[in-house]
Structure 1
């Protein structure tokens, strides 16, 4: 048996090498078999992530567009409430020629003397400075030429009838000599006969300028007064009053830069709304999408219990180390079994020696188990 012991050791070494080579081949084959599945799983995971990213980006863009439109509407509405427009009014006047001094009343506060409401008329906002002008359309008649100068008086009255402002202006037709009138009539004879041109003059007179304040003005009263020493009043085709208000300089600046205020107000409201959404309504902008476990074959419960990737990697490493130790222990047991089998054949004559070797082998196995446990 002493001669066979070298061959037995060589055989054990060869078998161990063969087992190692076989395990290496199995490991390589398993790697090559797992490679396609890993590639497919990685590609599927990547495509799924890209799809979720595109859907999330579209959703976030839609939410931000809706918020932007809402902010623009609020910004424009708030600035529009802040901005004031100048008042522009044009109204016809009708003088009462039954009086010695004909009067015409213009009410821009919405009420007339009899208590009825005139639709479409508005008051002048406080702080505005309004200008009042009169436009008279007068015929070039001999009566008007002989009347010559006459007086126009305009008064601004409050709601309780007090006079807030008063202005008086002289007025007359523009003079044209007799030869000029004949020549004009000769040249414009055809248009005059066809009604294209008329023998009239339009006179525009600036009467009043007043800053609106409390008490509010309600009525403008215009009076025709003849020249002193006469009772002749001018003939009129039409009479109109024109009222234009001017904004204070601060409101005029706001009105001139209203589009800038629209943009900046909308931007500030948009940023404020985004901050509120991100602070209080984050799920509205970034909804939490649950992942279906059936689509992730390699996922385990640790992914849904909130464990980190490092913990899962450490668990995987521990599993691999325990598997390597288990295989190493199996190889050692096989090798010792072969050696013990050869020694038992040679130890039929000496039982005491075999018992000692068994005790020794058991001690060695126990020591190996202790070593393996310490390694683990």
Structure 2
């Protein structure tokens, strides 16, 4: 078994639910060089989905039930050795395992095709079989992580909200905020981050449980953050339960492309290290190396962002609004670029300067909310905070 296969199994044992979310859809049992290790992978996935324990002792005791023989228990301890396996690299391990499997099967397709050609089979039949094999190679085998539950079990579940910011953000929510340049969306994002981290509701300013916050700002530098947020952090430390300067973690000023494995893995590592409740990331157009003009451009970005969301965090993102003027005479507040970005988040809000009152913005929904939330309808530039609800 390769080192990547060992490390992947070790990550599933060490951090089951988190690893399964990270590698979902990348690799399957059929990708392992040894069918026994593939059976262990399947057994681990099924156990994790069912909520069963998968520690080293539990895994060793299930080998017989999984039809696995000849595996030394010492091997399992080696898989979880912290000197050899790093759970936050699970997606990279899975990609290596999958790539190795594709290479092996590609060699098999070439061999089979060559043998058929030598046997005198009709050329079209040979080509058709090769296409079928290549299609199966690209599609891969089932991972086993997709499970169907009886509706009765689903209905018996709890309806309680897993609030991060009461009334605004639930765990795994996706919020995209847009606005014209200078409309104040960046400062509102910072207000959401710093106040919630301090234990202050960023809209009502009531006390809340402090939120763990990670910010990945691909546009603004640390110097810009320092100049813009020093006063907000000071006021939040004064009125809140803790100083956000001590608990908000910021990665700023780095141009990244999260559709590339190394960059995405770095953000996964930051999530593992800091364990945020909310990840503020963006702006969207700075997270890829080219414009997001088509659905094909947007698809890898959405997949990458969803892989972050699956780490059980809420995502809050900034995007630039389009330049078009709608029939109402107002600038379109939908995100600039592919229409795929419109239906993806749970909540899409735009800040538009009020036509009636200076210093006031209308909070416009450019997509229908998927759930009930208490977003403000209007805000004005405040004295204690950048934005306050306008009554």
TM-score between the two structures when normalised by the length of structure 2: 0.17
Which structure has the larger Rg?
1
The structure, 1 or 2, with the larger RCO (C-alpha pairs under 8 Å, 6+ apart) is: 1
Which structure shows the bigger proportion of residues in strand conformation?
Answer: 1
TM-score between the two structures when normalised by the length of structure 1: 0.18
Which structure shows the bigger proportion of residues in helix conformation?
Answer: 1
